[in-house]
Amino acid sequence: MERTLSIIKPDGVSRGLIGEVIRRFEKNGIRIAAMKMIRLTRKQAQGFYAVHRERPFFDSLTQFMSSGPVVVMVLEGENVIEKNRTLMGATDPAKAAAGTIRRDFATEIEKNVVHGSDSPETAAFEIGYFFNRFEIVA
Ligand code: ATP
Ligand code: MG
């Protein structure tokens, strides 16, 4: 059993897509092991995306991620890191496959509705960034 971190980004929350995203996870056999709605400070967004701090889009991205509430979730299932990435689609919605969350709902490469961990190492870091062990329901 694998775990990954999912975030419904501020654009997804403000556009009323929480239910639709969760529906897709559940429909595809993914279990939600933890969930909460929070609003990130700029500093918390910068810490979360620290791997991207040298990228030209870092300031804009962290501004966007702290611009409104997000829903953070721990997803659980077999091969769930890859499964979630497949359901999300490519970073750029214009390049995302048909039927993916980003292709169906995202408006641009930055405001792309969802985040998902991309490896077991990042999943461990990202889950620990938002949840302690008592908040994750086995
Ligand atoms: P995420 O990490 O959010 O799941 P990802 O792994 O598909 O997305 P990354 O390369 O890790 O993509 O980029 C992190 C986030 O930074 C993207 O989801 C997007 O919001 C933003 N981003 C990535 N590339 C660009 C870009 N060229 N211009 C603007 N924003 C970008
Ligand atoms: Mg990423």
pLDDT in tens, 50-101: 999 999 999 999 999 999 999 999 999 999 999 999 999 999 999 999 999 9
The pLDDT-based confidence of 6 (bands split at 50, 70, 90) is: very high
Candidate list 9, 24, 83, 115, residue with the active-site label = 115
Among 90, 47, 88, 53, CA closest to 66 = 47
Average pLDDT for residues 29-35, to the nearest whole number? Answer: 98
Residue 39: how many CB atoms within 10 A of its CB?
Answer: 14
Average pLDDT for residues 22-39, to the nearest whole number? Answer: 98
Q: Which residues contact 67 (CB under 8 A, 6 or more apart)?
A: 10
> Which two three-digit tokens encode residue 41?
């400070």
Among 21, 16, 13, 22, CA closest to 40 = 13
The pLDDT-based confidence of 28 (bands split at 50, 70, 90) is: very high
User: What are the beta bridge partners of residue 71?
Assistant: 8, 37
- Which residue, chain included where needed, has tokens 């077991």? 120
* CA separation for the pair 81, 6 (Å, rounded): 9
Catalytic-residue membership of 115: yes
- Ligand 1: residues whose CB is within 6 Å? 52, 57, 61, 91, 109-110, 112, 115-116, 118
